[in-house]
């Protein structure tokens, strides 16, 4: 009885898989879905079907896979795929880390260069301020006029002329 049931499943798979060669994408996709439902109903995974095909044996003549065992093998395959995805993601992240480390190093070098440039400009500004202060002091000392010396400026002599003119007015008034 079991051999008859296995042959029936093999015949169904053969007919459905023949439809996957269709030039119409929807028909081929529908056939694959039908195969998946048939395999799930019988407790067989695509991975198990591929393993049996690789060995050249008939999946239906061997009682090698129970439903739970097939599910466990499918889970193992899924986990292996996830591991591969994580390894690839880890590799991508490692390369990103290397890129950011190089960029960080470049920025640190630029910062150090900018800090030394800032120090240089501060020194130039300080020296300039000191020179300007010294020049201001020299100009102030040269421009200082003693209150006891008579000015030789005409504008000051005009002021004394105006003061002399105001005195007769005060006396008359």
Q: What is the pLDDT of residues 99-118, one digit of tens each?
A: 999 999 999 999 999 999 99
Contacts of 16 (CB under 8 A, 6+ apart): 31, 34, 35, 38
Q: What is the pLDDT of residues 7-37, one digit of tens each?
A: 777 788 888 888 888 888 888 888 888 888 8
Q: Can you give the pLDDT at residue 96?
A: 96
Please state, in angstroms and rounded to a whole number, the distance separating the CA atoms of residues 51 and 49: 5
* Closest to 62 (Cα-Cα) out of 72, 76, 48, 73: 48
Q: What is the pLDDT of residues 144-159, one digit of tens each?
A: 755 555 555 555 555 5
Indicate the domain borders of the chain: 1-65, 69-145
pTM (2 d.p.):
0.34
Q: What is the pLDDT of residues 41-100, one digit of tens each?
A: 888 888 877 776 777 655 445 444 566 777 888 888 899 999 999 999 999 999 999 999
Q: Can you give the pLDDT at residue 165?
A: 55
Please state, in angstroms and rounded to a whole number, the distance separating the CA atoms of residues 163 and 30: 120
């Amino acid at each position: 009885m079991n051999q008859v049931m296995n042959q029936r499943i093999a015949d169904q798979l053969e007919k459905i898989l023949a439809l996957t060669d269709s030039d119409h994408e929807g028909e081929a996709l529908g056939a694959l879905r039908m195969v998946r439902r048939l395999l799930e109903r019988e407790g067989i995974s695509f991975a198990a079907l591929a393993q049996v095909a690789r060995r050249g044996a008939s999946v239906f003549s061997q009682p090698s896979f129970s439903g739970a065992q097939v599910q466990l093998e499918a889970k193992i395959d899924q986990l292996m795929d996830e591991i591969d995805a994580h390894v690839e993601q880890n590799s991508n992240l490692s390369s990103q880390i290397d890129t950011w480390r190089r960029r960080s190093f470049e920025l640190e070098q630029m910062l150090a260069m900018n800090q030394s440039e800032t120090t240089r400009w501060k020194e130039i500004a300080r020296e300039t301020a000191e020179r300007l202060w010294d020049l201001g002091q020299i100009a102030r000392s040269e421009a200082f006029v003693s209150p006891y010396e008579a000015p030789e400026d005409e504008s000051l002599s005009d002021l004394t002329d105006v003061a002399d003119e105001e005195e007769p007015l005060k006396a008359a008034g």
